[in-house]
Structure 1
Amino acid sequence: MTISDGTIAPRNWKSVFRHDVPASLVVFLVAVPLSLGIAVASGAPVAAGLVAAVVGGVVGGALGGSVVQVSGPAAGLSLVVAELVHTYGWRATCAITVMAGLLQLVLGGLKVARAALGVSPAVVHGMLAGVGVVIALSQLHIVLGGSPQRSALENVLELPAQILDNHTHAVMIGVLTIGVLLVWGRIPRLRAVPAPLAALMVATLTAAVSGWDLTKVDLKGGFSSVQGPLMPQGDWHAIAGAVLLVALLAGVESLLTCVASNRLHDGPRADLDRELTAQGVANVVSGALGGLPVAGVVVRTTTNARAGARSRWSTVLHGVWVLLFTAVFAWMIALIPLEALAALLLFIGVQMVNLAHVRNLRNHREMPVYFVTLAGVVLIGLAEGVAIGLGLAALLALRRLAWVSVDVRQAGERRWRIVVTGSLTFLGVPRLTEALRGIPAGAAVELDLHLDFMDNAAFEALHTWRLDHERTGGVIDVDEPHAEWYSAAINGVRLFPARIPPRHDRWWLPWAYRRRSRSAEAGGVGSGSYAVIGADGTRHDDISVLCEPQGMPDLLEGMREFQRRTAPMVRPVLHRMARKQSPSHLFITCADSRIVPNIITASGPGDLFTLRNIGNLVPRADAVPADDSVAATIEYAVKVLDVRMITVCGHSGCGAMSALLGEVPDLPALRNWLRHGRQSLARFVAAEPCDDDAGPLDRLCRTNVIQQLDNLRSHPFVDTLVRAGKLELTGLYFDIGAARVHVLEQERFTPVPELRTG
C-alpha cells in the first residue's frame, strides 16, 4: 500500500477515487453519530459537534502532520467543555476554544510538540478512563429517562432511585441501541455499515414505528442555528487556566493519536509540530464558527486507515460529506431519540476504560498512576485528576531513579560479599548504613558497586565506613563493573551521568588486566598502573594490573569471578541445555592462547562445537599414522550433532607454521604432529608470489586454512554432505595485532566489514 503525503499528481487521482473516497464515506458514517453524541454530552448545541467535525476534517486534514489522522470533537474533552458551558455559557466557551487554538499555534511554532510525549501514558489512559466513567454514569440517567446530576458521585447516589422509577420507552430504546452496538460488529456481512450508525438508525426507525414518547435531538436551523464566540466574563486567572487546559488536553490527545497513526500505515511518518499547528488552526476556525474544540480522535483515525485511505484526501472529504449531509438532511437528524444518543455515549464511555492498557501498565508497575488519575477525574474533576496523576507519576519516577538495592551475604568464614545496585543517593544512605552495620569487624569484604550514579552524601557514608572497617584490620575489595563513581570521587575526578562512557563486563580481559580497587592500607593489596598500546597505536593508561596476594592462582580467582558475576546470568541458559547440546558449527582452530573462539564470533554456550590443536590441522583421511582424535571429533559433530557448517580458523604469527618454515623444535610428539602440515607447506611453495604486504609466515598461515578445508573433503562422509548441499565449509583468518577477522572467498581472504554508525 502506497500512502501519499497529500501531493496528488494527475495520474494519482485514480487512486483517490478508488481508495480515499470510499474510506471517507466510511469515516463520515462513523463521525456523524459520534459528533452528535459528544455535543450532547458536552452540553453544547448539537450543531456544534457537526461544525467541529467539518472543520476537523477539512482544516485539520488538509494541514495536519499525519496523512491518515482524523480530527473532530473528542469524548475526552466533553467534561471540560461541559464545565465551561456551565460556568461561562456556550458562546464564551467558543471564545475559549479560539484562544486555546491560538496557544496551540504558538506552541507549534516553538517546536515543542514532542514534549507532549513526555506525559506518562498512565496519566493519559487514566484520564480517558475517568472521562469514560463520568460519561457513562451521566448518560445512564438519560437512558433511564431521567436527568444527569452535577457530579459522578451524585449520579451514583441517585442511580438506585432512577432505576426504581418506570421509564419504559427510554429504557427499551437504550437497551435496543446498546444491543445493536454489541451484536452488529460480530456479523461479518453487516460490518460494511458502521455499528454506531446502524444502532441510531434501528433506534430511530423503531421509535418512529412504535410511536414511543421520546425526546428528539434539537437541530432546528442546521448550521444556521450556531452562534459565534463571545468574550468570557469573570476571573481572568480562571479563564487563562481554562484556555491552557483545553489547549494542552486537545494537543496531547492529538499528538498521541498522531504517533499511534504511524503504526497503521507504511507511508510518511507524522510531523508532530505540523500536527499541533494544524490543530491550533482548526480550533481557531471551529471556535469562531461556534463549534466544539477539535482534537485527533483514535476511533475515526483507525477507521480511516482500516478503510483503505491512502492520502489526506480521505480526511478532507469526510468533512465535506458531513457538511453536505447536515445542509441537506438536517431533518433526519432531528428524528434521532436523545435516549439513543445517550446509549451510544454510554457504550463509548465504557469502551474508554481499556483493559488492554491496564495490563500493559501492570507490566511496567504504573497501575497506581492509572487508578489514582481515574479516581481523581471521577471524584474531583478532570484538571485536578490529571494534576494528581502527573504528581504521582513524577514521585514514582523519582523513586525509581533513586532506587538502590543492597545485598549482603556471607561468602565464607569471615568473608562477606556486598552488592549495591542502582542509584546511590542520600535517599539510600539509611539502607546502606544499616546493611553495612552488620559486617563484623576485621572481616574480608568484596564490595561490588553496580551504580549509575552516586552523590556526595552516599560517597561520604560509604568511604567513612570503609576507612573505619580497615582500621579494625578488615580488607575491602571494591569493584565497579559499570561506572567508576567511587574511584572518581576518591581521585577528585568530576563525573557527569551523561558523560560517563559505557563500560562492559571485563570477562574478556586477560587476568593481568582485570582492574580492582584494592586497599593499600591495613595490609591491602596495591594496584600498579600499566599503559597498553592498542592496534591503532592509541595509548591506554587506565588499565591496571592486579598484584595478586601470594599463593592466589589466577585460575582460582577467575573461577571465583565467574561464580560471582557470570554464573547467575548464564545459569538459566545452561540449565535449559544441560541434557542436550545442539551446536550449529564445528569450529576448528589453533590451541594458541590468544585465540578465543567465542570472542571473535560473538557466540555463547551451545553455539560452537570446538576442536583445537596446534596449527588448526585436519589430518587427511588416508594419513599415516591416522589421527583418530580429530577424525572422531569431526565424525561426532557431523553424524551425531548434525552441524551444518565446519569452520577452520587460522591466525597470524602461528607458531606451528613458523616451525614448518624453519626448524621444528626437538620435541618428538610435536615433530610427528607437524607432519600433517606438510601439504600446506608444499602448497605455499608452489603458489605464485603475492603482491600483498604479508610476510611469508602470514601467507603460509592463510594457505594452511585453505589446505585444511581440502583435507576435510578427503573424509568421505564430509565430502558427501558437502556435495549434497547439507554441509558448508568455511575458512577464517584472525589477524591478532589488528583484532580483525578475515573470511575466505574464492581462495582469497577478505576482512569482515565493520558496522559503522553516525
Structure 2
Amino acid sequence: MRRTAPRWPKQTLGADLGASLVVFLVALPLCVGVAVASGVPAELGIITGVVGGIVVGLLPGSSIQVSGPAAGLTVLVASAVSQHGLGTLGVIVAGAGLLQIIMGVGRIGSWFRAISPSVVQGMLAGIGLVLILGQIYPVGGLPQPAHTPEKFAGIPDLLVTATTTATGISGLAVAALTLVVAALWQKMPEKMRMVPGALVAVVVASAVTLVLALPIKKIEVGSLLAAVNVPSVDAWGGLVSPAVLGSIVAFALIASAESLFSAAAVDRMHTGPKTQYNKELIAQGAGNTVCGFLGALPMTAVIVRSATNVQAGARTKLSRVLHGCWLLLFVMMLPGVLNYIPTAVLAALLIQAGWKLLELRQVAALVREHRSEAFVLVLTAVMIVATDLLIGTLVGLGVAIIKSAWEMSRLSVESHHQDDHVRVEFGGNATFLRLPRLLDHLERLPDGKSVHLDLTMVRHLDRACHQAVEHWVAQRRRSDHDVELALPGRTG
C-alpha cells in the first residue's frame, strides 16, 4: 500500500512554529489597530485574524501568505458602517465572500492580474492618504471625523488640541516614540530583529504611558464571544438595497485585488509552491463568508504579515494556521494585556502603514519614465481622497482603459502625389478614436485627381472607420471622381 507524505513534515515543523510566533506578534497589534481605525470594536479585528489564520490557512491556494484584517480596507469599512450600521457589516462581508467564491469557481481570479498596475498603485496610495488623514486625529486626542471633507476642515482644531492640551501633547509624544522605536529597531542585529519592531514599539510606548500615567485614551478589548455580531433577519433584508449591494461588490473586488496582488508579490519572495489564483480567491471568499456570519471585519491577504512569514522562515501552511491559534489563545487567556495599549500608538503604526502604501519612490520613478501611467496613478489616488474608494478606483480603471485604447489605436498615413493620381496608404489600427485624423486626411485630398486608398496594411478596421471610409468614397464618386478602395482582406 502506497504511503502519502505527511501534511506537516517533521523537518519543517520547527521552522513553521518559529515563523508562526513571529507573525502572531506582528498580527496582534495590527488586528486591533485596523478594527479601531475602522470604527468597530477591537475584538472584531481579532476574530478576523483568527479566521484568516485557521480557516483560510487550511484551504488550498497559497501556502505562505497570511490573511487577516487589512489597513487597505479601513476606509471602506468605516464608510459602510457609517452608512448602513454595524449590524449590516456582517451581511456585506458575507455577501462579498460568497461573490469571491463565485468568481473563484468561475476562474476569474487570473483576470485580476490584468488590472493596470498604475491603478492598483494609485488605489493603494489613495488608501494610504485617507488612512494617514484619519489616524492623525487619534494621535492628537480627537475623534476621527467620518468624512474626508470634515477631516481636512478639522485640521486647524487638531493642531491646536495636539499642541496645547495634555491629552494632545501626550498622544503626539507617544506616537513619535512609537515611530522612532520601530525605525531604530530595524538597525539592530539580525537576531534581535526576529522580534518585530512594531511589537517592540507598542510595548515600549505602552510602558512609558503606564509609568508616567499619561492622560491618553487606551483601547478596550473584551470577550470575543460577546463581540460576535451575527447579522439579524432585519440586517439580511438590506440585501434588497442597491447601496448595500454596491458595497458588497466593492468589498469583493477590492479585497480580491489586494489579496491576489499580494500573492503575486509574495510568490517572488520564496521558492516554494506558487499561488493558485482561483483557489486562493475561493479561500479568501470562504474566510470572508465566515467573518460575515460572525459580524467581523473583512479580510484580505496582507503583504506585511505575509512578508514577515517568509522572512521568518515559514515552509508550509502550518505557520499561518498556528498564528491564528496563537491569536485565539492570547485573547482568551490574556485579554486584559491589550487594554494597556494607547490608541495613539496604534494610530502611529497605521500612519506608518499608510506611508508605506504611498510608495513615493516608485511614484517619482513612474513620473520620470512613464508620465501617462503616473497620471493614472495620481488621478486614482486623488479621486479616492475626494470621493470614496469605489468611485476613485472605477475612475482610475476607466481612464487606464481609455489610455490603453488610445495608445493601441495608432494609425499611420502616407500620401504619394503624382500628376493626376494620389495614393494614400493607411497602416496600424483604424478605430473610432482615430476617426477624426482619418477623415482629416481624406478631406484634404485635392479635387481633380483620381485616388487610390490602400487599407490592406490596417490590422484592425472597426465599424465606425469602415463606414466613414465607404461614405467618403461614395461621395467622391458621386462628384465624378475616380476612387479605388483596397480594404483589409479584399479590394473594392
Tell me which interval the TM-score lies in, with the shorter structure as reference length: 0.7 to 0.9
Amino acid at match of 1:247: A
1:218 aligned to which of 216, 220, 245: 220
1:87 counterpart residue number? 83
1:206 Cα offset (Å): 1.1
Residues 15-62 of structure 1 show CA distances to partners (whole Å, capped at 9, x for unaligned) of 222x21111122111111111110111111101111111110111111
Given that 1:51 and 1:223 are in contact with CA atoms closer than 8 Å, whether structure 2 keeps it comes out as no
1:434 aligned to which of 430, 435, 440: 440
Residues 524-572 of structure 1 show CA distances to partners (whole Å, capped at 9, x for unaligned) of xxxxxxxxxxxxxxxxxxxxxxxxxxxxxxxxxxxxxxxxxxxxxxxxx
- The SS at the match of 2:434 is helix
Identity of aligned residues (%): 34
Given that 1:45 and 1:226 are in contact with CA atoms closer than 8 Å, whether structure 2 keeps it comes out as no
1:187 Cα offset (Å): 3.4
1:181 counterpart residue number? 182
Going from structure 1 to structure 2, the CA distance change for 1:445 and 1:9 (only over 3 Å counts) comes to same
2:146 aligned to which of 146, 150, 161: 150
1:443 Cα offset (Å): 10
1:249 counterpart residue number? 254
Going from structure 1 to structure 2, the CA distance change for 1:436 and 1:105 (only over 3 Å counts) comes to closer
Moved more, 65-74 or 390-399: 390-399
1:149 Cα offset (Å): 1.5
1:367 counterpart residue number? 374
- The SS at the match of 1:128 is helix
Going from structure 1 to structure 2, the CA distance change for 1:310 and 1:427 (only over 3 Å counts) comes to same
Going from structure 1 to structure 2, the CA distance change for 1:405 and 1:29 (only over 3 Å counts) comes to farther
In the alignment, the residues of structure 2 paired with residue 413 and residue 262 of structure 1 have an alpha-carbon distance, to the nearest angstrom, of 65
In the alignment, the residues of structure 2 paired with residue 183 and residue 419 of structure 1 have an alpha-carbon distance, to the nearest angstrom, of 65
1:182 Cα offset (Å): 2.8
- The SS at the match of 1:288 is helix
In the alignment, the residues of structure 1 paired with residue 59 and residue 114 of structure 2 have an alpha-carbon distance, to the nearest angstrom, of 24
Q: How many corresponding residue pairs? A: 475
Residues 65-89 of structure 1 show CA distances to partners (whole Å, capped at 9, x for unaligned) of 0111111001121112112222333
In the alignment, the residues of structure 2 paired with residue 409 and residue 144 of structure 1 have an alpha-carbon distance, to the nearest angstrom, of 72
Amino acid at match of 2:431: T
Matched, 1:394 2:396: no
In the alignment, the residues of structure 2 paired with residue 417 and residue 253 of structure 1 have an alpha-carbon distance, to the nearest angstrom, of 53
Moved more, 352-361 or 78-87: 352-361
1:49 counterpart residue number? 45
Going from structure 1 to structure 2, the CA distance change for 1:55 and 1:442 (only over 3 Å counts) comes to same
| RMSD across aligned positions (CA) | 3.3
1:333 aligned to which of 330, 338, 345: 338
In the alignment, the residues of structure 1 paired with residue 8 and residue 156 of structure 2 have an alpha-carbon distance, to the nearest angstrom, of 63
2:230 counterpart residue number? 228
1:455 counterpart residue number? 462
Given that 2:47 and 2:224 are in contact with CA atoms closer than 8 Å, whether structure 1 keeps it comes out as no
In the alignment, the residues of structure 2 paired with residue 171 and residue 43 of structure 1 have an alpha-carbon distance, to the nearest angstrom, of 21
Going from structure 1 to structure 2, the CA distance change for 1:320 and 1:360 (only over 3 Å counts) comes to farther
Matched, 1:39 2:35: yes
Going from structure 1 to structure 2, the CA distance change for 1:487 and 1:71 (only over 3 Å counts) comes to closer
Given that 1:416 and 1:444 are in contact with CA atoms closer than 8 Å, whether structure 2 keeps it comes out as yes
2:202 aligned to which of 195, 200, 203: 200
In the alignment, the residues of structure 2 paired with residue 308 and residue 404 of structure 1 have an alpha-carbon distance, to the nearest angstrom, of 53
1:68 counterpart residue number? 64
Moved more, 456-465 or 234-243: 456-465
1:418 Cα offset (Å): 6.5
In the alignment, the residues of structure 2 paired with residue 382 and residue 475 of structure 1 have an alpha-carbon distance, to the nearest angstrom, of 54
1:336 Cα offset (Å): 0.5
Amino acid at match of 1:72: G
2:428 counterpart residue number? 422
Structure showing greater Rg? 1
Amino acid at match of 2:6: A
Amino acid at match of 1:181: A
Q: Which structure has more helix as a fraction of its residues?
A: 2
- The SS at the match of 2:459 is strand
Going from structure 1 to structure 2, the CA distance change for 1:163 and 1:450 (only over 3 Å counts) comes to farther
1:633 counterpart residue number? none
Going from structure 1 to structure 2, the CA distance change for 1:11 and 1:225 (only over 3 Å counts) comes to closer
Residues 159-190 of structure 1 show CA distances to partners (whole Å, capped at 9, x for unaligned) of 12211231211111111112223332233444
In the alignment, the residues of structure 2 paired with residue 428 and residue 86 of structure 1 have an alpha-carbon distance, to the nearest angstrom, of 46
Q: How does 1:338-353 map to 2 (within 5 A)?
A: 338-353=343-358
Given that 1:229 and 1:290 are in contact with CA atoms closer than 8 Å, whether structure 2 keeps it comes out as yes
Amino acid at match of 1:204: S
1:9 counterpart residue number? 6
Given that 2:424 and 2:451 are in contact with CA atoms closer than 8 Å, whether structure 1 keeps it comes out as no
Matched, 1:136 2:138: no
Q: How does 1:619-630 map to 2 (within 5 A)?
A: none
In the alignment, the residues of structure 1 paired with residue 186 and residue 80 of structure 2 have an alpha-carbon distance, to the nearest angstrom, of 35
1:313 Cα offset (Å): 1.0
2:95 counterpart residue number? 99
Amino acid at match of 1:430: P
2:312 counterpart residue number? 307
Amino acid at match of 2:429: S
1:598 counterpart residue number? none
Given that 2:98 and 2:289 are in contact with CA atoms closer than 8 Å, whether structure 1 keeps it comes out as yes
Amino acid at match of 1:373: T
Given that 2:139 and 2:171 are in contact with CA atoms closer than 8 Å, whether structure 1 keeps it comes out as yes
In the alignment, the residues of structure 2 paired with residue 170 and residue 375 of structure 1 have an alpha-carbon distance, to the nearest angstrom, of 29
Given that 1:418 and 1:445 are in contact with CA atoms closer than 8 Å, whether structure 2 keeps it comes out as yes
1:416 Cα offset (Å): 9.0
Moved more, 48-57 or 242-251: 242-251
1:364 Cα offset (Å): 7.6
2:268 aligned to which of 263, 266, 276: 263
Q: How does 1:373-388 map to 2 (within 5 A)?
A: 373-388=380-395
1:445 Cα offset (Å): 9.2
- The SS at the match of 2:215 is coil
In the alignment, the residues of structure 2 paired with residue 133 and residue 417 of structure 1 have an alpha-carbon distance, to the nearest angstrom, of 56
Amino acid at match of 1:316: V
Residues 445-464 of structure 1 show CA distances to partners (whole Å, capped at 9, x for unaligned) of 99797532123554566676
In the alignment, the residues of structure 1 paired with residue 488 and residue 428 of structure 2 have an alpha-carbon distance, to the nearest angstrom, of 17
In the alignment, the residues of structure 2 paired with residue 342 and residue 297 of structure 1 have an alpha-carbon distance, to the nearest angstrom, of 18
Q: How does 1:569-584 map to 2 (within 5 A)?
A: none
Q: How does 1:651-666 map to 2 (within 5 A)?
A: none
Q: How does 1:472-483 map to 2 (within 5 A)?
A: none
Amino acid at match of 1:230: S
Q: Which of structures 1 and 2 has the larger relative contact order (alpha carbons within 8 angstroms, sep 6+)? A: 2
2:283 counterpart residue number? 278
In the alignment, the residues of structure 2 paired with residue 372 and residue 107 of structure 1 have an alpha-carbon distance, to the nearest angstrom, of 28
Going from structure 1 to structure 2, the CA distance change for 1:148 and 1:344 (only over 3 Å counts) comes to same
Matched, 1:126 2:122: yes
- The SS at the match of 2:490 is helix
Given that 2:457 and 2:488 are in contact with CA atoms closer than 8 Å, whether structure 1 keeps it comes out as no
Unaligned segments of structure 1, at least 5 residues = 1-6, 479-484, 492-758
In the alignment, the residues of structure 2 paired with residue 291 and residue 337 of structure 1 have an alpha-carbon distance, to the nearest angstrom, of 22
- The SS at the match of 2:429 is strand
2:299 counterpart residue number? 294
In the alignment, the residues of structure 1 paired with residue 137 and residue 311 of structure 2 have an alpha-carbon distance, to the nearest angstrom, of 34
In the alignment, the residues of structure 2 paired with residue 329 and residue 8 of structure 1 have an alpha-carbon distance, to the nearest angstrom, of 37
- The SS at the match of 1:334 is helix
1:10 Cα offset (Å): 8.0
In the alignment, the residues of structure 2 paired with residue 32 and residue 380 of structure 1 have an alpha-carbon distance, to the nearest angstrom, of 31
Given that 2:458 and 2:488 are in contact with CA atoms closer than 8 Å, whether structure 1 keeps it comes out as no
In the alignment, the residues of structure 1 paired with residue 411 and residue 242 of structure 2 have an alpha-carbon distance, to the nearest angstrom, of 43
Given that 1:442 and 1:475 are in contact with CA atoms closer than 8 Å, whether structure 2 keeps it comes out as no
Amino acid at match of 2:273: P
1:549 counterpart residue number? none
- The SS at the match of 1:264 is coil
In the alignment, the residues of structure 2 paired with residue 315 and residue 159 of structure 1 have an alpha-carbon distance, to the nearest angstrom, of 40
Moved more, 426-435 or 171-180: 426-435
1:244 Cα offset (Å): 2.2
Amino acid at match of 1:428: R
In the alignment, the residues of structure 2 paired with residue 426 and residue 10 of structure 1 have an alpha-carbon distance, to the nearest angstrom, of 57
- The SS at the match of 1:352 is helix
